[in-house]
Structure 1
Amino acid sequence: MMNIRKAVFPVAGMGTRFLPATKACPKEMLPVVDKPLIQYAVEEAIEAGITDMIFVTSWTKRPIEDHFDSNFELEYKLEQAGKKELLECVRAIIPDHVNCFYVRQKEALGLGHAVLCARDIVGDEPFAVLLADDLIYSHQESALTTMAQLASQRSSSVVAVETVPESQVSQYGVIDPVNGPDEEQTYQLKGIVEKPKAEDAPSNLSVVGRYILTPKIFELLAQTQKGRGGEIQLTDAIAALLAHESVFAHQFDGIRYDCGSKLGHMKANVEFAMRHPELKETFHSYLHELLRQVKV
């Protein structure tokens, strides 16, 4: 049985698709309603039982560290003003049992390199990787919680996948499954390819930003040569891992929002606002009125 205690959050990217908003603000700190993207990812990790959060950062990402640190002045002012709910909201960002660690990625050499930067902190144990750009709304338990359970049961790495249109497979890592899904919507892998052409893709099941990986991946990442885009690809190391261990892909029950794109981020804000306990009624009314007024 595998116990997943640590999660890696690669957050060193520049976020150029959101300029000028990300000139001084990390893209992971862009809000969806009232929380930054990175907080949603951390909350998903905490729900899965993870206690050690490892952020792979760059020199532009100090606001992420500040967000997960205590702000004594803010807490004091909220306490003095009697704003207890807001005070608890701020204090609950990181529970007392959760630890945060930060390591710098000195060069932008890709996702695989970012994960490799966390090797000394993760050590010789399985771990999760979460990409904050992929915001996942789950209907029941979180995608990562289910993946951690599967990884523990099978003592294997597990990646999250979803079905994408054939025209989009060239944007993702794509799995080559041994056969169809089992009763847990899980596939065993015989291969995985980074951003294949549509005609070369082994399936239309694309990998999205959730992974449970065994520590063997670090050894393979250290040996992985630069691939597409001149970067060290995590997908290439997972492909190499298949020669040593079984790897599974789980088709999660939920909705993924590609918040690395402007449209995906806008969709997430609208749909999360429609579910928000404080906003949903008034926001529904606003949207209904807006659609009534708009001339098609």
Structure 2
Amino acid sequence: MREIPNWLTEQFEAERPRLRAMAYRMLGSLAEAEDAVQETWLHLFRADVSAVSNLEGWLTTVLARICLNMLHARTTRREDSLEASASNPPTSQESEVDPEEEAELADAVGLALLVVLDTLAPAERLAFVLHDIFSVPFDEIAPLVERSPLATRQLASRARRRVRGSALLKEPDLASQRAVVEAFLAAAREGSFDALMTMLDPEVVFRADPLAVSRGAVAKMYGARAVARGAMQLLKRIPFAQPVLVDGSVGVAIAPRGQLLFLVLLTISDGKFVAIEAVIEPEHLRHLHLAVLFA
């Protein structure tokens, strides 16, 4: 049985945190990221790297190829996975990953960023993560996505536009809407009924799509008092709500560990919520453009 020299094992272990962070951003799942890093270790175990002058680059390339293959495989079952996630929140039963650790990592990376990254095509996600987050040059990314360096640059640029969004609202409007949404989420989590009442229009309307209703949501609620009670009941049980841009306006993504379950579409007028809609239907979610709402 082949043995890896101690110095090579030590170098890999020194690289493991970076590889893990990179894989997590490419895959959005800590369990899958751990699998990708382990597969990278197996490649190292089997390979002759005596002629490799840049082990860090070699490991990055191997890991990126593994992650890209995993993303392509995931894309082929996207529809079934989305249907399943709408009815069953993701769990960590398939791995030994600590849910609290993954929640902390998702929070550090940004739940909204993970949600938006998950809407990108595999090659776009790879190019964006490697270049924009980990500063890998385009000429090193190009062979991985089987494109020229120029085409790879365009991939990353397209992904960057998707991540940042092309907001339909002006920045001051976005800032004010984000402040209202964050205050609403905080009040609902804290159970502050009076605070919620000040943010809701007296005639506010809440609607849920048919799939949400089949999961136990109320189809419609009218008036500030009813909507405030419903918001408190929901958000006390769901701590992973995150403001996000939805078609250029501020909304809320419900995304445990970065895995999108449903969206809350918001209509705000004069600083108050006049309409709230819960969307779970996969087909509807697929047609909504999400972007990170930067502070």
**Band of TM-score, shorter chain:** under 0.3
The structure whose RCO (Cα within 8 Å, separation 6+) is larger is 1
Flag the structure with higher helix content.
Answer: 2
TM-score by length of 2: 0.27
TM-score by length of 1: 0.27
- Name the larger-Rg structure: 2
Flag the structure with higher strand content.
Answer: 1
